[in-house]
Structure 1
């Protein structure tokens, strides 16, 4: 098997998955991550899927699938906070942070470069050239775009600027120590997967592990997600305007929301949500916002550049499949590179394997989110 010089743009889970697998096969792999501070602490919980189990087995870390919190049942509230429906369906939420830290440990030192923002990727007869915002360059036999919803690598594959498309609604989010929940709310919310639906909106909440994988009661965190309409460009810009008046492109980080907007959120929560969820929203001192986007790549690879994870297909979070899809992409790419004599033929097979999967998951996400548009 030929050993390649591989550069990965994007250092979240998709990039880390690919790096861990390809480095094990002897390739020269380096990740370039645009954020200066890293991505630890940004995740909550995720549902285990077969591809996540497969990638954990591939790196000898099956134990990671046991680091999480089990919700013992699903409940649906009525407006007054009573339980309208109850389903005894236990579900494990794996710790995103523990999974991230496990794979981050496989790419330490110079293998993972923080604060390296790639401006563009171009291809020539010898491979791919990465150009950075600071004017530096790097050359590789294979470039993998794992740079998410705002991917800059897409253009090298698709041949034209290919932005993600806004779906017309956003997810307000909270993630805080479970002990911050008021007592009455904690009694009904903890250890349950809770939901409340409204026209063009719904909220859900569940317990996740602590930032370092803590699973003991009192050490965990509560995670809520409230999907709310914000139609059109004006709605998106208003949602993603921070306390200084700056408009962000895809999300608003914890601490960026103005106090005035937080107070407005709490007022609306009290007016619209069942009391337990209104209390959970109030318990988050720094709500943050994730805008919901769609994107489907017409092809996932060209010559010596491949797309992986959200760079190829942005799927809505209702599918609970985003991380698993990235894991499946990384596993398939590894197999095709191992069995092919050259990169181009490997990437043709990779596209054939994974693009139908992305199309299917993206369609499912749009179907699940249609009532929120």
Structure 2
């Protein structure tokens, strides 16, 4: 396809993968990220899948896929902290921080604009108008919504743009492995689980923030899924100074009282190794678990990638790989023809069923785990 002026709303991994691939094909691409401070340091750990390896090769970051901690087996605790089951299932976990920084470094320096929130888009026959909160506007040939769970772009494609709360949240922590007490050392080098009625906790090691893999420089990532009534969600996402967040509570926003209650609940309801790991985290975060399935991922001059199109349950460990697959498919569709509308129609056909399948898979996993 001839070079296009392409603007991407959202600067997380979905936006980065898409932007880098399209820049490589000669398009004029810029990312507008609403955060003024950037996204570095916001992630934890993830389990890489085939699409992630594929996109890393394409953008020249294949080395990142080798920077990971291997869990030699999966273990399942009983309530007392004994190991009830061992499954020989080696698996590698990578650092979101290191992945993000490595991928970000492959983007042209002037292409990533912080503190620029795409508030709305309007599509017409000749292009797309992007609108910003300061009243300014910009024109583009193609706009890609990579703006995640709170996407402002998806509403221009779909009548129903609202996320659906799944009835539970994920409490998350990421601590230096050296912070874990000796009594929790059973967690190291293993992928650990505890599953009981209404309880699902897991944890694993990931590299350090700059890809460190040496013993003592890695980090322990834990997740505790907890049922939460919808009417209590607003309170759960209210920070210590009263600020309200829409879909999550970031690190550093939990009050001392709520942190103390979390620790109390952990020792009351979880096996001791997990409770000890949770106790070491001074700044846990809370992620709301939502569902969203776009009816339309693309139109004549708009496209959605990543969580802007399909929000899937984290149990799948496929969120980042799904975003990589979207970026790969969108690039392939655009390379295949000079007809933009036809290219986006092909992208819709290629990826919509994939998103539906992953979303359904996530719901099945959640039903069996909670």
The TM-score, its normalising length taken from structure 1, stands at 0.97
Equivalent position SS for 1:3: coil
Shift of residue 253, structure 1, vs aligned partner: 0.6
Gapped regions of structure 2 (runs ≥ 5): none
CA deviation profile, 1:130-165 (whole Å, cap 9, x unmatched): 10112121111000000000100001112x351111
Whole-Å Cα distance in 2 between the matches of residues 137 and 67 of structure 1?
Answer: 41
Whole-Å Cα distance in 2 between the matches of residues 136 and 184 of structure 1?
Answer: 57
Whole-Å Cα distance in 1 between the matches of residues 20 and 190 of structure 2?
Answer: 34
Matched, 1:192 2:190: yes
Equivalent position SS for 1:118: coil
CA deviation profile, 1:174-228 (whole Å, cap 9, x unmatched): 001111111111x201111101112122100000010111110111111000000
Counterpart pick for 1:261 among 258, 263, 274: 258
Matched, 1:360 2:353: no
Equivalent position SS for 2:261: helix
Matched, 1:289 2:260: no
Counterpart pick for 1:246 among 243, 247, 254: 243
- Residue 203 of structure 2: aligned partner: 205
- Residue 167 of structure 1: aligned partner: 166
Shift of residue 245, structure 1, vs aligned partner: 2.5
Whole-Å Cα distance in 1 between the matches of residues 178 and 32 of structure 2?
Answer: 37
- Residue 27 of structure 1: aligned partner: 27
Whole-Å Cα distance in 2 between the matches of residues 151 and 87 of structure 1?
Answer: 39
Gapped regions of structure 1 (runs ≥ 5): none
Whole-Å Cα distance in 1 between the matches of residues 354 and 219 of structure 2?
Answer: 32
Preserved CA contact (<8 Å) 1:229 1:372: no
Whole-Å Cα distance in 1 between the matches of residues 78 and 16 of structure 2?
Answer: 41
Matched, 1:52 2:49: no
Whole-Å Cα distance in 2 between the matches of residues 261 and 255 of structure 1?
Answer: 12
What does residue range 330-349 of structure 1 map to in structure 2 within 5 Å?
330-349=327-346
Preserved CA contact (<8 Å) 1:144 1:307: yes
Whole-Å Cα distance in 1 between the matches of residues 61 and 115 of structure 2?
Answer: 28
Preserved CA contact (<8 Å) 1:308 1:329: yes
- RMSD of the TM alignment (CA)? 1.1
The TM-score, its normalising length taken from structure 2, stands at 0.98
Where do 4+ consecutive residues of structure 1 move more than 6 Å? none
- Residue 225 of structure 2: aligned partner: 227
